[in-house]
Structure 1
Amino acid sequence: MAGEELIAEGVSRLYDGERVVDRASLTLRPGRIFALVGASGAGKSTLLRLLAGLEPVDEGEVRIGQERLSRPGQTVPPEQRRTGLIFQDFALFPHMTALQNVRFGLAGRPRGEADREARRWLSRLSRLGLEDRAEAYPHQLSGGEQQRIAIARALAARPAAILMDEPFSGLDPTLRAGVADTALAAIRESAIPALLVSHDAPAAMESADDLAVMRDGRIIQQATPREIYEHPVDAGVAAALGQVNRLATDSLPGGLLPAGMTAPPGTILCIREEAVQIAPEGPAVARVTRSAFAGAMTRLELDIAGTRLTARVSSGQAPATGDTVAVALDPRLSFVFAGETGQPAI
């Protein structure tokens, strides 16, 4: 089954009549990371559990290639679908060394073959010297090392797919990006489909080849991260991938709406923070009420004739609190939606 697509078609899960997952469809392609984002309670983890066979589907079906894994009344058990599961809790066996933990996924193979395969995977994830930690026990390993071992254990079993639920969120921020890069590169090289459930939309966009936004149990939009970021289908999706300003277009300050953009009555303008551009001259004037340095970027709070905006600008060009600046909006990251529904207005 390795190298085939993992597909969910119209899957639903009901708890006491409530649709926790509502007719969700997605296709995970081999060698690509598919990220699933959305607010808490959106149904992300439940959808993962349906794909894994940890819960039955009430509608729809799950399959790998042409092999049906789940449909109403029929669920292939998780251990029979060769799906690797990786969670925030690394779930390593404390009484086993790193090598023994990886080898655990190779049960049934001759010991020598299992050892060689386990060491191959430890070497593959050895950017920070993991191969030399083969005889260490989990309590002797850092969080990043433990997570890489958990991923090596999952991949060593040659699964048909990998499903990950917040796998890196428990790591120290200084380690998170490096561990994620190493682990996800190994998963891509394995040429199997992979799902990454995350509450961290910026990290998910950076990690994923494909992305979907869930809300109220439904998949609202799926495409590449860039496509969704630059072309959200509604205001909720726009906000799911980063901070936005939401302004009623009926009361916009003069000159703020980008040239060529129209805003019918009763609509809202969603503006990404990085769409707010500071310049010596511009169509609107703002007072900087707060300038908060955050390393490479500075977050600004602006007042434009009583309308408040937030912006993120390069720290090298950031004005100080109390400054008066000209403001313009990047139309590529400014979106007009219907006021009540949040759907595209034009």
Structure 2
Amino acid sequence: MVSDARNGAVAMTRRSGVSFAANLAFENISHRYHSKDTIKGVTLKAEAGEVLCLLGPSGSGKTTLLRIAAGIEKQTGGRLLLNGQEISGPSIFVPPEQRGVGLMFQDFALFPHMTIRENVCFGLTELPKKKALLQADAALERVGLLHYAERYPHVLSGGEQQRVALARALAPRPAVLLMDEPFSGLDSRLKDSIRADTLAILRETRATAIVVTHDAEEAMRMADRIALLKDGRLVQVGTADELYRRPCDLFTAGFFSEINVFDARVRDGHVETPLGVVATGQYTEGQPLSVAVRLSGIRLDETGGEIPARIVSRRFLGVVELLELAVPQSERTVRARIRADLLPQGLRDVTLSVNERDILVFEKDASTP
């Protein structure tokens, strides 16, 4: 089933043929553009049938990796393998149309002069016309838009256009589906439902999917695994739980949650911060460290907390409130995110304590957010 994002109705969809999922491996991939290194020795494997998210800020190399996988760009070093077979490397380059890899563009790239059915048929030119039409209709029915087959893209909402683009990408039954920020152009109210529908369709088709996004929450919602990139390098790969709970550096910690950061040095196996003393048994005496405290890990109360604080500003965000606090021994304010209406309005003086699970310690020379 997929839900109609425009009117909330739920439509049953016929199950068309599934894809033959493949694994796709990037092996020491590098890329250079105008003498600038854009990808720096990335080794990564998308397993058959999994959803892998490439996550990172603008300029981190996510889309370049996707274009290399699609065959739109050619790497300057390394190899690309599909089910263990080299499809791009020093001595071979399989053209995009022969890779069995589907690509869904960020802007959907629907042809305005073609009907919805014709758009979906566009990648099925190798099939007899009758079979291509049947396969296109099956893909449209899967995304709940068969009733729009004879209409044109301009009559569709953004969410519906996204689903047509997904149907077109899936119609040839690719072994690997590449998606470049597929939800970035959608209204925020639609994103959750369209994302859930898309994930359900990906699970049904069993295609391996590689999704590019700059949104950590989106990656956590969709991915079996997440590959975090920065400046063309792979920083950390793992499940959402692993990257959130055990980030390898300050950059990763800051990408998955809002944090306060304090500089400190090890003294007798501990570091002192404005939010309390933290044990640091694995670090050496005198070593400079960065201590990150998640905003959501700070608890506030009128009394009973460990550290006195004064509310400097308070912003209501619906379910939660964002506060800035002045605390002793800190020249900068400390931020906290708490459940809305937990504290009485007009309150200025509070106490705070910190959940130990939301305190993260890193070497000082580690990457910064």
**Mapped pair 1:339 → 2:354:** no
> TM (normalized to structure 2)?
0.86
Q: Which amino acid aligns with 2:300?
A: I
In structure 2, the residue matched to 1:205 is: 220
Counterpart check, 1:248 vs 2:263: yes
Q: Which residue of the partner structure matches residue 134 of structure 1?
A: 149
Q: Distance in 1 between matches of 2:92 and 2:277?
A: 54
Distance in 1 of aligned mates of 2:274 and 2:132: 70
Q: Are residue 283 (structure 1) and residue 306 (structure 2) matched? A: yes
Question: Counterparts of 1:208-247 in structure 2 under 5 Å?
Answer: 208-247=223-262
Structure 1 segments (4+ residues) deviating >3 Å: 250-255, 260-265, 318-322
- Kindly report the root-mean-square deviation, in angstroms, between the aligned alpha carbons of the 2 structures: 2.1
Indicate how the Cα distance of structure 1 residues 16 and 319 shifts in structure 2: closer, same or farther if over 3 A, else same. Answer: farther
Alignment map for 1:85-100 (pairs within 5 Å)? 85-100=103-118
1:183 equivalent in alignment to 2:198: yes
- Aligned residue identity for 2:355: D
List aligned pairs for 1:160-171, cutoff 5 A. 160-171=175-186
CA distance in structure 2 between the partners assigned to 1:197 and 1:162 by the alignment: 11
Any idea what SS the aligned residue of 1:27 has? strand
Q: Indicate conservation of the 8 Å contact 1:102/1:156, yes or no.
A: yes
Matched-pair contact (CA < 8 Å) for 2:22–2:49: no
Check the 8 A contact 2:55/2:62 in 1, yes or no. Answer: yes
Which letter does structure 2 place at the counterpart of 1:226?
A: D
The alpha-carbon distance between structure 1 residues 246 and 66, as it changes in their structure 2 partners (threshold 3 A), is: same
Q: Which residue of 1 aligns with 2:354?
A: 329
1:233 alignment partner, SS class: coil
Residue 311 and residue 131 in structure 1: after superposition, are their counterparts in 2 closer, same or farther (change >3 A)?
Answer: farther
1:33 to 51, 54, 59: 51
CA contact (8 A) 1:94 1:139 kept: yes
Native 8 Å contact 1:161 1:193 kept in 2: yes
CA distance in 2, matches of 1:255, 1:8: 43
The residue type equivalent to 1:177 in the other structure is D
- 1:297 corresponds in structure 2 to 320
Tell me the percent identity.
Answer: 37
- Kept after mapping to 2: 8 A contact 1:33/1:209: yes
Distance in structure 2 (CA, Å) of the matches to 1:65 and 1:145 = 33
Of residues 296, 304, 308 in structure 1, which corresponds to 2:333? 308
CA distance in 2, matches of 1:16, 1:108: 37
Cα distance change of structure 1 residues 255 and 77 upon mapping to structure 2, 3 Å threshold = closer
SS of aligned partner of 1:257: strand
Distance 1:342 1:101, change over 3 A: closer
Alignment of 1:23-102 (within 5 A): 23-102=41-120
Report the CA distance between 1:209 and its aligned residue: 1.3
CA distance, structure 1, for counterparts of residue 350 and residue 100 of structure 2: 58
1:124 to 142, 148, 152: 142
Instruction: Name the stretch that deviates more: 7-16 or 263-272.
Output: 263-272
Is 1:317 aligned to 2:342, yes or no? Answer: yes
CA distance in 2 between counterparts of 1:268 and 1:253 reads 10
2:346 and 2:37 mapped to 1: Cα distance?
A: 48
Gaps of 5+ in 1: none
Shift of 1:74: 2.8
> Equivalent residue for 1:104?
122
Aligned length: 339
- Contact 1:12/1:60 (CA < 8 Å) preserved in 2? yes
**SS across alignment from 1:239:** helix
Alpha-carbon shift at residue 16 of structure 1 (Å): 4.2
Rate the CA distance shift 1:28–1:318 in 2: closer, same or farther, 3 A.
farther
Once the 2 structures are TM-superposed, how far is the Cα of residue 173 of structure 1 from its aligned partner?
Answer: 0.7
Amino acid corresponding to residue 42 of structure 2 in structure 1: A
Cα deviation, residue 114, structure 1: 2.1
Are the structure 2 counterparts of residues 183 and 254 from structure 1 closer, same or farther at C-alpha, using a change threshold of 3 Å?
closer
CA distance in structure 1 between the partners assigned to 2:167 and 2:148 by the alignment: 13
- Give how far 1:333 is off: 2.2
